[in-house]
Structure 1
Amino acid sequence: MSTIVLLLITGLGLGALYFLVASGLSLIYGLMGVLNFAHGSFLTLGAFVGWELARRMGDGSWFTLITSLLVGAVVGAVFAAATEFFLIRRLYDRHIEQVLVTVGLALATVALFEGIWGTDQIYVNGPAWLDGTTKVLGANIPNNRFILILCAALVLVGIVLFLRYTRYGLIIRAGVENRSMVTALGIDVRRAFTLVFAIGGAAAGLGGVLASHYTGYVSPHLGGSLLIFAFIVTVIGGLGSLTGAAIASVLVAVLQQFANFYFDGTGDFVVVLLLAVVLLVRPRGLMGVKA
Structure 2
Amino acid sequence: MDLATFLVQCLNAIQYGLLLFLVASGLTLIFGIMGVINLAHGSFYMIGAYMAYALAPGVQQVLGGGFFITLLVGVVLSVLLGYVLEWVFFSYLYEREHLQQVLMTYGLILVFEELRSIAVGDDVHGVTPPEWLSGSIALGDLMSYPVYRLFISAVCLGVALAMWWVLAKTRLGMRIRAGASNREMVQAMGINIRLLYRIVFAVGVALAALAGMIAAPVSSVYPGMGSSVLIICFVVVVIGGIGSIKGALVAALLVGVVDTFGKVLVPSVAGLSVYLLMAAMLLWKPEGLFKANG
TM (norm. structure 1) is: 0.91
TM-aligned CA deviation for residue 113 of structure 1:
0.6
Structure 2 CA distance for aligned equivalents of residues 41 and 109 of structure 1: 7
TM-aligned CA deviation for residue 171 of structure 1:
2.0
**Equivalences for residues 8-157 of structure 1 within 5 A:** 8-57=10-59, 63-94=65-96, 95-136=98-139, 139-157=143-161
8 Å contact 1:29–1:239 — kept in the other structure? yes
Q: Aligned to 2:167, which of 160, 163, 167?
A: 163
State whether structure 2 residue 181 is matched by structure 1 residue 199.
no
8 Å contact 2:124–2:222 — kept in the other structure? yes
**Equivalences for residues 122-271 of structure 1 within 5 A:** 122-136=125-139, 139-215=143-219, 217-264=220-267, 266-271=269-274
Q: Which amino acid aligns with 1:43?
A: Y
Q: Which amino acid aligns with 2:197?
A: F
TM-aligned CA deviation for residue 200 of structure 1:
0.8
What residue in structure 2 maps to residue 276 of structure 1?
A: 279
The 1:118–1:266 alpha-carbon spacing in structure 2 relative to 1, beyond 3 Å, is farther
Structure 2 unpaired stretches of 5+: none
TM-aligned CA deviation for residue 57 of structure 1:
4.7
Post-superposition Cα deviations, 1:15-54, rounded to whole Å, max 9, x if no partner, equal 1111111010111122222221111121221221221121
Structure 2 CA distance for aligned equivalents of residues 99 and 83 of structure 1: 15
TM-aligned CA deviation for residue 154 of structure 1:
1.3
TM-aligned CA deviation for residue 72 of structure 1:
2.1
Structure 1 unpaired stretches of 5+: none
- 4+ residue segments displaced more than 3 Å: 56-59, 136-139
Q: Return 240-249 or 133-142, whichever deviates more.
A: 133-142
8 Å contact 1:45–1:75 — kept in the other structure? no
State whether structure 2 residue 8 is matched by structure 1 residue 3.
no
Determine what percentage of the aligned residue pairs are the same residue.
38
8 Å contact 2:18–2:253 — kept in the other structure? yes
TM (norm. structure 2) is: 0.90
Structure 2 CA distance for aligned equivalents of residues 133 and 233 of structure 1: 30
Structure 2 CA distance for aligned equivalents of residues 233 and 111 of structure 1: 28
Q: Which amino acid aligns with 2:211?
A: G
Post-superposition Cα deviations, 1:241-274, rounded to whole Å, max 9, x if no partner, equal 1111111111111211111112236432211221
8 Å contact 1:42–1:79 — kept in the other structure? no
TM-aligned CA deviation for residue 76 of structure 1:
2.1
8 Å contact 1:44–1:205 — kept in the other structure? yes
TM-aligned CA deviation for residue 120 of structure 1:
1.5
Structure 1 CA distance for aligned equivalents of residues 266 and 101 of structure 2: 39
Q: CA RMSD in A?
A: 2.0
8 Å contact 1:237–1:286 — kept in the other structure? yes
TM-aligned CA deviation for residue 66 of structure 1:
0.8
